[in-house]
Amino acid sequence: MNVDYLIVGCGLAGISFAEVLFQNNKSFVVINDNSQNSTKIAGGLYNPVVLKRFTEAWQATRQVKLMYDFYRKVEEKLDCKLFNEDVPVIRKFFSIEEQNNWFIAADKKNLSNFLSTTIISKPYQFINSEFGFGKVNHSGFVDTALLQNEYSKFLMENNLLINETFDYSKLQLEENGCNYKQIRAKKVVFAEGFGMNKNPFFNYLPLDGTKGELLVIKAPKLEIDAIINASVFILPLGNDLFKVGATYNWSDKTDLPTFEGKSELITKLKELISCDFEVVDHLAGIRPTVNDRRPLLGRHPKFSNLFVLNGLGTRGVMLGPDMAYQLYDFIENDTELEREININRYVSRYVS
């Protein structure tokens, strides 16, 4: 099999790059072993504002613009509903001071398009909201589990997905391409998420990983029509089901749900809602996060046909399309990567 690209990994990063290759008529094959589950269990929220500080997320304006067109094209390709822009994020206010800070932020040029200046006072029967809510425009969620499942199915149907663990020892590097078993590829893009730490070519990069745990609850009396952002988020899934998250654990690098994580989420949820609920599922995964909170894109310092797309972290739904386009332009059109996302910023860590 001769292809332009071999992609390793089929989470948000791998899917985003595969879709960009489709759009540019490049041939490729994907190898994935389902060892990483952060895309599958993610909340999938996209939100252009950092709601702890009421500031614009990094390059949010550009990312939101690209994201809308990107996911609509993917929905059309897969013939399924993935992109939920009709379920906005609303931030619960805990004080008059927070309300004032919201209005101050909304007056800023870069945030005026994202922060509604109308306080939502609509009462939710089982959520105490003395100070109301602020609505974030251009927010919502992508069903990442469905995206991964349907995109993988599409790739399988077109003989573009190989379900196996990538064996780095079988990768033969040559001047004009790479050989992997029966595959001849001009270039290899590693999009492995937290699994990159086992990659001998790119494990020098500081991908720390942050464990996140979420709950799926059933709460028939909890009638909400938006994603509630407070000490936890509550995302309506339909049929009285809601996703609740998320925890942040920087030391535990397993993807196993924990009693501590579940207890933390239940405690915070009970502080937010006053109706009964039942926990029907408990999920955990490792987000591919970097200390400087910027993605990892670029070419290997020694092997010119090896590339990486990783470190999408907690904002993978927004970052994925933008980073995939940027990496493609870097590879195919010699467009310079911005320093803050280029892995060259960590070249001093590389030991050949």
> For the segment 23-50, what is each residue's pLDDT rounded down to a tens digit?
999 999 999 998 888 999 899 999 999 9
Question: What is the per-residue pLDDT for 63?
Answer: 95
Question: What is the per-residue pLDDT for 107?
Answer: 95
Per-residue CA distances from 249 to 24, 146, 260, 285 (Å): 39, 25, 10, 10
Question: What is the per-residue pLDDT for 139?
Answer: 95
SS3 state of residue 329: helix
Helix, strand, coil tally for the chain in percent (to 5): 30, 30, 40
> Over 90: is that where the pLDDT of 14 sits?
yes
Question: What is the per-residue pLDDT for 175?
Answer: 85
How is residue 302 annotated by DSSP?
S
For range 45-68, the mean pLDDT: 94
* pLDDT, the chain, mean: 95
For range 179-187, the mean pLDDT: 96
Question: What is the per-residue pLDDT for 123?
Answer: 78
> Over 80: is that where the pLDDT of 219 sits?
yes
Question: What is the per-residue pLDDT for 34?
Answer: 87
> Over 90: is that where the pLDDT of 121 sits?
no
Sheet holding 89-92, edge to edge: 133-136, 89-92, 227-229, 233-238, 241-245, 210-218, 278-287
> Over 80: is that where the pLDDT of 241 sits?
yes
| Superfamily of domain 2-42+145-206+291-349, CATH level 4 | FAD/NAD(P)-binding domain (3.50.50.60)
Question: What is the per-residue pLDDT for 316?
Answer: 94
> Over 80: is that where the pLDDT of 255 sits?
yes
> Over 90: is that where the pLDDT of 129 sits?
no
Nearest to 331 by CA among 131, 199, 189: 189
d(CA 24, CA 154) in angstroms, rounded, equals 18
The domain segmentation of the chain, as residue ranges, is 2-42+145-206+291-349, 85-139+209-287
User: Which segments of 222-333 are extended strands (E)?
Assistant: 227-229, 233-238, 241-245, 278-287, 296-299, 306-310
Evaluate whether the domain defined by 85-139+209-287 bears CATH number 3.30.9.10: yes
Question: What is the per-residue pLDDT for 37?
Answer: 86
d(CA 318, CA 65) in angstroms, rounded, equals 10
Which pLDDT band, with edges at 50, 70 and 90, does 341 fall under?
very high
> Over 80: is that where the pLDDT of 352 sits?
no
Residue count of the chain: 352
For range 314-338, the mean pLDDT: 96
d(CA 30, CA 163) in angstroms, rounded, equals 8
d(CA 313, CA 212) in angstroms, rounded, equals 11
Nearest to 208 by CA among 285, 313, 343, 319: 313
> Over 80: is that where the pLDDT of 204 sits?
yes
Question: What is the per-residue pLDDT for 86?
Answer: 81
For range 216-234, the mean pLDDT: 95
Percent with pLDDT over 90 in the chain: 91
For the four alpha carbons of 125, 126, 129 and 134, in that order, the dihedral sign comes to negative
